[in-house]
A and B are shown apart, each in its own frame.
Chain A
Amino acid sequence: MNHTPDAPALEADEEGFPTGDPANISRRRFLTSSAGVAAGAFVLGVGLPVGEARAARAAAAPMPAGTRVPAFLEIRPDNSIRFQSPFVEGGQGIFTAMAQIVGEELDADPSTFIVENAPAGNDYKVLSIGMRITGGSMSVRLSYPTMRRLGALARQMLLEAGARQLRVPVSELTTEPGRVVHAASKRSVTYGQLAGVAMDLPVPAPDSVKLKDPAQFRWIGKPVQRLDVHDKSTGKAVYAIDCRVDGMLHAAVQHAPRLGQTVGGIRNEAQVKAMKGVHSVHRLPGAVAVVAERWWDARRAAEALQVDWKAPAADSTARVMPADFSTKALAAQLERMPGPGENAENVGNTEAALKAAHKQVSATYHSQFVHHAQIEPPSALARFNADGTLEVWLPNQAPELFQGDIAKRTGLAPEKIIIHSPLLGGFFGRHFLYDGGTVYPQAIALAKAVGRPVKVIWSREEEFLRDPVRPMAVVRFRAGLDANGFPVALEAESVTEGPTEGIANKRGDKMDPTALEGIAGKAYAIPNHRIAQVYAKQHATLAYWRSVGNSMNDFIYESFLDELADAGGKDPFELRLHLLQGNARLTNLLRAVGELSGGWKRGPYIAADGTRRARGVAMASPFGTEVAAIAEVSIEQGQVRVHEIWEAIDPGSIVNPAIIEAQVNGAVALGLSQVLLEEAVYEKGMPLARNYDMYPILPLARMPRVHVRIIESGAKMGGIGEPPLPPVPPAVANAVAHLTGQRVRSMPLSRHVFKS
């Protein structure tokens, strides 16, 4: 069906291409399955993703990642394009961005794309750092040229196929969206008609294709509509928790109260086994699972289990949670740990400059544990197949990493492990490999034990018990001002454990950059500064959280910077401009956000509705992007009300302004949620909050208006998903401090009552 009858010459070429031909098989499978996709039915068990089988060829014919066109693209007769995305869609809009980028060079309308998460495979390790993860706001900025080239290579193959079909030289052909055109003869043929042939042609040499002049971009840089919005507005989008295969059983777990504890005995196993719908009860590392015909039955039975938990072995090398751990005690312990720590930055002579300073300012700041609190609770579905393969459907931000981990756990070869990466119901850093924080080892163990596919869902309570948290830090500042009130020296000692250190459960050879980012790497010209980390293990399992170190450290640094401004009698906006002298990009950015807000005014002033308001400003440089935000706040019944957020963002250059605006809105919401409401409190080794009841997150009623200005400075492309968050908490805290005279050096602000 993909071969046109008038192109017999192609058969030989096709034969000559060492496909081992899974391609057509998988294409046909796809066609049979795609109806199911469109109807919103379950998409599982309907054949291999197109790239899967082709990826198996990779060893035989290694090609650079991101060049094996058929591993990524399948063009269907109706001209729709199935694209295997190397990056996982979790709300950040990457599927649409990929369709824009590839479609731009392929010359195909992004709206004709059907994008899926690609399976594991070397072809998809397209990041310029030689790997594949969806995180660090890296997807577009570190794969942009590669993905453009992929589109261009595919276009070239279609042109070649078109030349054969139209029997004209390639040089006479051009393309219009979705078709190859021979202008001279006014003939054209659609990509869909050519694809069967084109996709089996050899992929041209990667450097043989020329990329478009950005001035000619049709889709990149435009507010192209997202591809997944209708499905997501009508319940058709499929997440890991929705996946289902024939013969599947459901499972729920009861986790040990504290990480590291193991199962001693179960007092009422017989009673639980006799509960309705229960299939079996299983002892797992640090958990007991109930397998049942339905999840609700499994869940109730799992809650009913009366387990005697044993303390971890004294020589346990894994991270364990002490029975007496509390966040309050940890904060006190961090405060007591002395410096000087290990320097990440040491410029000038900070100690001498502090001594010589006209005025010294010091302060201690805290950051808190926070949950990811993505609305989709984690789940995993595992199935052992008769052919010796193991299929796992799981939320993840890095398929190959998970595949490797599963290989290690099961002893299976990686190629026997098929990773399915459904849409993520939010991630914010939740779905990396976290020891004790992932579901799939349980699903695999249970599927093996019962001999049937098993889907495990963690209840919200079990999730909050095992969700790894953003680290806590205590940051001690000392700064010196000169006679004119300008900072000349700044010292910051952060007593903390970086998330990377936490995940490794040890210090690395080098410092963990995610521990200090946002305190280190600031652009302000303070001639003497020392930024150091005092390593302090935290017992709770640690994680990356949207904007990682910046999410807390910019709150800490930018708040303290306002304290310096006040101590020196400077306006904080003007002080920042002063400290950025000669930095055109950031000066421009700061001025832009000021202008967006109608001109910088700090207040306090009385707004039209009679409320007394003030504004605060903050900046951050996360993930290669520059951001500045201004917040307007008032106090309502002792609590902070945020009315407006103005944010300017300079990611260098952009792909989709509408998605960027949405990401800024989302980052504002999460940043506000953190600064206003969130803290994961531990007592006796357990989190007090096991659901949203005790861990409230920002509701709609507290969402301010958000105004966005995107600046394309032309600098190297930066990230989008995370960068807009970090300046929001300090902008709010700075506004509150100015409005109320109360400088709060920790989050969340809801723990304080403010005078208006």
Chain B
Amino acid sequence: MELHINGKSYEVHAEPDTPLLWVIRDELGLTGTKYGCGLAQCGACSVLIDGVVARACVLPVAGVVGRQITTIEGVEADPVGRRVVDAWVRHQVPQCGYCQSGQVMAATALLRETPHPSDEQISAAMVNLCRCGTYNAIRAAIHEVAGQAGKSSTALNEAAGAEDTGRAQA
């Protein structure tokens, strides 16, 4: 089987029902895409298939032959992905970082589809789990990429909420 990943072609030799996740991690050594649940519940394995976010742990590899696969290793080659990564760094999003490959992919997919998502759209689309609780930083970073941080009042509050660190000397 031939896979197109991040603009390159790879010949792989897995059984057709092997999840894409394990082909790219174990066979191709692209370990940026993470295993978390194997059940499409956590989103740590999020990749893009033809630009749409998908969960590699539930994609039989035979089904993605001939399609364009983007993993976290290739995300910065995508103009939106590049901006998402920059925003992730500016907002210092990751803590342990384990879910963040998936978060970045999910955010990239969202912003490609919906360049100016509302808070509701972000809440609805960003269902990847983060046990460290980086959600407010994720929201703020997405708003920043959307260039909306200053527009809607809710968005402003959100961004402000995440940044709202007072500090006092007692």
Shortest Cβ distance from residue A85 to the other chain B in the assembled complex, whole angstroms = 15
Q: Are A91 and B138 in contact (CB under 8 A)?
A: no
In Å, the complex CA distance between A40 and B99 comes to 17
Q: Are B34 and A241 in contact (CB under 8 A)?
A: yes
By a CB distance below 8 angstroms, the chain B residues around A708 are: 164-166
Shortest Cβ distance from residue A655 to the other chain B in the assembled complex, whole angstroms = 13
Q: From the candidates B71, B123, B134, B158, name the one contacting A665 in the complex (CB within 8 A).
A: B134
Instruction: Known A233-B104, A691-B41; judge A666-B134 contact (CB<8 A).
Output: yes
**A–B complex contacts, Cβ < 8 Å, 23 sampled:** A42-B31, A91-B97, A229-B94, A231-B97, A232-B96, A233-B85, A234-B73, A235-B72, A294-B22, A294-B27, A373-B131, A375-B42, A375-B99, A423-B96, A657-B165, A662-B92, A665-B162, A668-B133, A669-B130, A698-B135, A703-B139, A705-B162, A707-B166
Instruction: Known A234-B85, A376-B34, A666-B134; judge A296-B164 contact (CB<8 A).
Output: no
Shortest Cβ distance from residue A462 to the other chain B in the assembled complex, whole angstroms = 11
By a CB distance below 8 angstroms, the chain B residues around A666 are: 95, 132-134
Q: Are B161 and A693 in contact (CB under 8 A)?
A: no
Most chain B C-beta atoms within 10 Å of own C-beta, residue among A425, A644, A650, A669: A425
Q: Are B92 and A658 in contact (CB under 8 A)?
A: yes
Q: Tell me whether A353 is interfacial, beta carbon within 8 Å.
A: no
Q: Are B92 and A225 in contact (CB under 8 A)?
A: yes
Q: Tell me whether B18 is interfacial, beta carbon within 8 Å.
A: yes
Instruction: Known A710-B165, A714-B170; judge A91-B34 contact (CB<8 A).
Output: no
> Could you tell me which residues of chain B, from 111 to 145, have a CB within 8 Å of some CB in chain A?
122-124, 126-139
By a CB distance below 8 angstroms, the chain A residues around B30 are: 235
Q: Are A706 and B136 in contact (CB under 8 A)?
A: yes
> Could you tell me which residues of chain A, from 253 to 285, have a CB within 8 Å of some CB in chain B?
276
By a CB distance below 8 angstroms, the chain B residues around A232 are: 94, 96-97, 100
Q: Are B98 and A375 in contact (CB under 8 A)?
A: yes
Q: Are B136 and A665 in contact (CB under 8 A)?
A: yes
What total of chain B residues lie within 8 Å of the partner, measured CB to CB? 69
Closest 3 CB pairs of A and B: A235-B32, A669-B133, A232-B97
Most chain B C-beta atoms within 10 Å of own C-beta, residue among A225, A423, A665: A665
Q: Are B96 and A706 in contact (CB under 8 A)?
A: no
Shortest Cβ distance from residue B77 to the other chain A in the assembled complex, whole angstroms = 11
Q: From the candidates A40, A375, A428, name the one contacting B130 in the complex (CB within 8 A).
A: A375
Shortest Cβ distance from residue B41 to the other chain A in the assembled complex, whole angstroms = 4
Most chain B C-beta atoms within 10 Å of own C-beta, residue among A239, A692, A693: A692
Q: Tell me whether A389 is interfacial, beta carbon within 8 Å.
A: no
B residues with CB within 8 A of A: 14-15, 18-19, 22, 25-27, 29-39, 41-42, 44, 71-73, 75-76, 85, 88-89, 92-101, 104, 122-124, 126-139, 157-158, 161-162, 164-170
Q: Are B98 and A425 in contact (CB under 8 A)?
A: yes
Q: Are B72 and A234 in contact (CB under 8 A)?
A: yes
Q: Are B39 and A709 in contact (CB under 8 A)?
A: no
Q: Tell me whether A405 is interfacial, beta carbon within 8 Å.
A: no
By a CB distance below 8 angstroms, the chain A residues around B131 are: 373-375, 426, 428, 670, 697
By a CB distance below 8 angstroms, the chain A residues around B37 are: 460, 691-692
> Could you tell me which residues of chain A, from 295 to 327, have a CB within 8 Å of some CB in chain B?
295-296
> Could you tell me which residues of chain A, from 630 to 658, have a CB within 8 Å of some CB in chain B?
644, 650, 657-658
By a CB distance below 8 angstroms, the chain B residues around A712 are: 167-170
Shortest Cβ distance from residue B117 to the other chain A in the assembled complex, whole angstroms = 12
Q: Are A376 and B126 in contact (CB under 8 A)?
A: no
In Å, the complex CA distance between A244 and B15 comes to 22
Most chain B C-beta atoms within 10 Å of own C-beta, residue among A40, A296, A459, A692: A296
Q: Tell me whether A474 is interfacial, beta carbon within 8 Å.
A: no
Instruction: Known A233-B88, A425-B34, A707-B161; judge A295-B22 contact (CB<8 A).
Output: yes
- Known pairs A90-B96, A235-B101; list 17 more (Cβ under 8 Å): A91-B96, A229-B89, A229-B92, A230-B85, A234-B85, A250-B26, A375-B131, A376-B98, A460-B37, A662-B95, A666-B134, A691-B37, A691-B39, A692-B41, A707-B164, A708-B164, A710-B167
